[in-house]
C-alpha cells in the first residue's frame, strides 16, 4: 500500500510539467499570469496559439527538414551499423574488436568538442546550411549505436546459419540482406527509434551547422521562438509550439513501445 502511494505521488510529480504545458498552452495568448499557471483557463485557445506559433517561427519548413533528417539519417545509420556488426562478427573481420573500438570510440568525446572543426570543415566544403550536410553529420553520429547493438545481437546468432546459407550458394551480401537483416528487425527498430528521438530533439548541431528557416531543425526554430518570448511573443504561443513539436516522438514511442523494449532486450544479448 505504501509502495503504491509513493509511486502515485512520484507519478504526479513527474506529470506536473506536462500538466503545466497543456494548461498554459491552451489559455488565450494575452491571459497568461505566472501566479495562476496551475489553474486552467475557461477559454480553449490551443489551436489559435499553434497557428500563431507556426506562422511566427516558420515551423512548416523546419518540420519538413527535421522529418527528413530524423528518417533518412537513422535509416542510413542503422544500415551501416548493421553492416559493421555483420562484418565484424559474422565475417570475422581481422582485428574486428579494434575496428569496433574505432567505430564506437568516437562516442567517448563530448559532442561539443566537434562543433568548431565541423563548422570550419563544413564551411570549407560548402556543406554549411545544407540539408545534405545535416543528413551526413546525423548519420555519422548514429552509426556507433547501431554498430554496438547489432554487434551484440549477431554474437547471439548461431554461426551455422551463415555456413548453411553459404553452402547453398548465397553470397555474403545476400546472406546479410535476406537472412541477418530481417532477423534483426526488432533490434534495428529499437535503434531507429532512439536515433529518431535524438535527431528530432537535437539543438546543438542544428544551431551550429544551419541558418536558414528551410534547413534548420525544428528545435533550433523553437529556441529562436522561445528567445522571442522575452521580446513580446506570448508564453502560451511558445508553449503551444513546444507541444506540437514534441508530439511526433511521443506518438512514435507509444505506438512502438513493445517493439522498442523487445528490440533492446535482443540487442543486449552477449
C-alpha–C-alpha distance, residues 234 and 226, integer Å: 9
Check pLDDT > 50 for residue 215. Answer: yes
Check pLDDT > 50 for residue 248. Answer: yes
Check pLDDT > 70 for residue 245. Answer: yes
Residues 6+ apart with CB under 8 A from 81: 142, 143, 144, 145, 146, 147, 148, 149, 150, 191
Exposure pattern of 142-172 as b/e (b: 16+ CB <10 Å)?
A: bbbbbbbbbbbbbeebeeeebeebeeeebee
Fold of the 57-267 domain = MetI-like fold (1.10.3720)
Q: Mean of the pLDDT values across residues 249-269?
A: 69
Of 228 and 40, which is predicted with more confidence?
40
Residues 6+ apart with CB under 8 A from 112: 204
pTM: 0.84
Please state, as a whole number, how many other Cβ atoms lie within 10 Å of the Cβ of residue 83: 19
Residues of the chain with CATH 1.10.3720.10: 57-267
- Supply the DSSP symbol for 198: H
Check pLDDT > 60 for residue 231. Answer: no
Q: Look at residue 72 in the predicted model and tell me its pLDDT.
A: 95
User: How do residues 57-115 score in pLDDT, each as one tens digit?
Assistant: 667 778 889 999 999 999 999 999 999 999 998 888 888 888 888 888 877 788 888 88
C-alpha–C-alpha distance, residues 257 and 190, integer Å: 9
- Supply the DSSP symbol for 87: I
Check pLDDT > 90 for residue 227. Answer: no
C-alpha–C-alpha distance, residues 219 and 236, integer Å: 17
Q: Mean of the pLDDT values across residues 128-147?
A: 92
Q: Look at residue 269 in the predicted model and tell me its pLDDT.
A: 46
Q: Mean of the pLDDT values across residues 177-199?
A: 89
User: How do residues 164-181 score in pLDDT, each as one tens digit?
Assistant: 888 888 888 999 998 898
Amino acid at each position: 500500500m505504501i509502495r503504491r502511494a509513493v509511486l502515485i505521488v512520484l507519478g504526479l510529480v513527474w506529470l506536473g510539467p506536462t500538466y503545466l504545458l497543456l494548461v498554459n498552452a491552451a489559455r488565450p495568448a494575452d491571459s497568461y499570469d505566472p501566479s495562476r499557471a496551475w489553474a486552467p483557463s475557461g477559454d480553449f485557445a490551443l489551436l489559435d496559439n499553434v497557428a500563431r506559433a507556426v506562422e511566427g517561427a516558420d515551423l512548416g519548413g523546419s518540420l519538413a527538414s527535421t522529418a527528413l533528417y530524423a528518417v533518412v539519417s537513422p535509416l542510413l545509420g542503422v544500415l551501416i551499423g548493421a553492416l559493421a556488426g555483420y562484418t565484424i562478427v559474422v565475417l570475422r573481420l581481422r582485428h574486428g574488436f579494434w575496428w569496433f573500438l574505432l567505430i564506437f570510440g568516437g562516442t567517448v568525446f563530448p559532442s561539443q568538442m566537434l562543433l568548431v572543426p565541423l563548422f570550419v570543415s563544413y564551411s570549407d566544403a560548402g556543406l554549411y546550411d545544407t540539408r545534405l550536410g545535416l543528413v551526413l553529420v546525423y548519420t555519422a553520429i548514429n552509426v556507433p549505436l547501431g554498430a554496438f547493438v547489432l554487434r551484440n545481437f549477431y554474437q547471439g546468432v548461431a554461426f551455422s546459419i551463415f555456413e548453411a546459407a553459404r553452402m547453398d550458394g548465397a553470397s555474403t551480401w545476400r546472406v546479410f540482406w535476406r537472412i541477418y537483416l530481417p532477423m534483426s528487425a526488432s533490434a534495428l527498430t529499437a535503434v531507429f527509434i532512439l536515433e529518431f528521438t535524438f535527431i528530432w530533439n537535437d539543438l546543438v548541431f542544428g544551431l551550429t551547422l544551419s541558418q536558414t528557416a528551410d534547413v534548420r531543425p525544428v528545435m533550433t526554430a523553437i529556441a529562436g521562438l522561445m528567445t522571442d518570448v522575452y521580446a513580446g511573443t506570448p508564453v502560451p504561443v511558445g508553449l503551444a509550439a513546444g507541444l506540437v513539436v514534441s508530439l511526433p516522438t511521443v506518438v512514435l514511442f507509444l505506438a512502438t513501445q513493445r517493439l522498442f523494449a523487445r528490440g533492446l532486450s535482443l540487442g543486449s544479448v552477449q
